[in-house]
Homo-oligomer: A and B are copies of this chain.
Amino acid sequence: MNKKQNISDSVIHRLPRYYRFLAELSAQGVNKISSNELAERMGTTASQVRQDFNCFGCFGQQGYGYTIAMLLEELAKIMGIENSRKAILIGAGNLGKAIAGHITFSKLGFELIGIFDNSKTKIGKDIFGFRVASIKKLKAFCQQNNVEMAILCIPKEQAANVVETLYSAGVRGYWNFSHHDLKSLHDDIIVENVHLNDSLMKLSFRFVDL
């Protein structure tokens, strides 16, 4: 049985944050850290930190702490960011362009290999080295290239149709910027949603705290 199964969502949520803080410390030349120090930076408790790392078989040394390089390596393995899963992006609008240009996919477990759109004004245009392809070529491309993940930067109304095409071509991972609830379409897909509107509404709500 894989040790990554049965890990709670809240632990999964903390993993990238651990990775980010530790990578920062490493870049500053720090080699070791105690669970207390790490907890303080993360705004959590030392016992939480130890419990999280124990989940994955990472143990610190009493009175010595954790070796940062080792933790980083272990976290990278756990999160699978050393992989290079083939990814494509659908929707070459402003958001799609920003994602294509802003994200260093190769450091996060993926390789971006194509960009697709359904608009004649976008197809054929060059975006960060990719020639935008017609959505009509989506299915064949995914099958030929074993695409595992799709980034959806498309309007909500188009999401269900596009996902059907992708699903039938074997794509099972979705980084979803559309507002469609993809999990309602298929049980056996994995989805990570980025709901920018929700995030802004939460910020609006929090103004009451000021």
A interface residue numbers (CB < 8 A to B): 2, 4-5, 12-13, 15-17, 19-20, 43, 78-81, 83, 85, 93-95, 97-99, 101-105, 108-110, 148-149, 172-173, 175, 179, 183, 188, 190, 192, 194-210
Contact = CB atoms under 8 A, between A and B. Distances in A.
Contacts of A16: 195, 197-199, 201-202
B204 A108 contact: yes
Contact of A12 (B4, B172, B202): B202
Contact of A110 (B199, B200, B205): B200
Interface centre among A179, A192, A199, A200 (most CB of B within 10 A): A200
A200 B192 contact: yes
A192 B202 contact: yes
Given A192-B206, A207-B148, A208-B5, A200 B80 contact: no
Interface centre among A43, A194, A207 (most CB of B within 10 A): A207
19 contacts: A15-B202, A16-B198, A17-B195, A20-B179, A79-B204, A80-B204, A81-B204, A83-B207, A99-B196, A104-B197, A109-B200, A109-B203, A109-B204, A109-B207, A149-B203, A173-B206, A190-B210, A192-B203, A194-B199
B197 A20 contact: yes
Contacts of A192: 199-200, 202-203, 206
A183 to B, nearest CB: 8
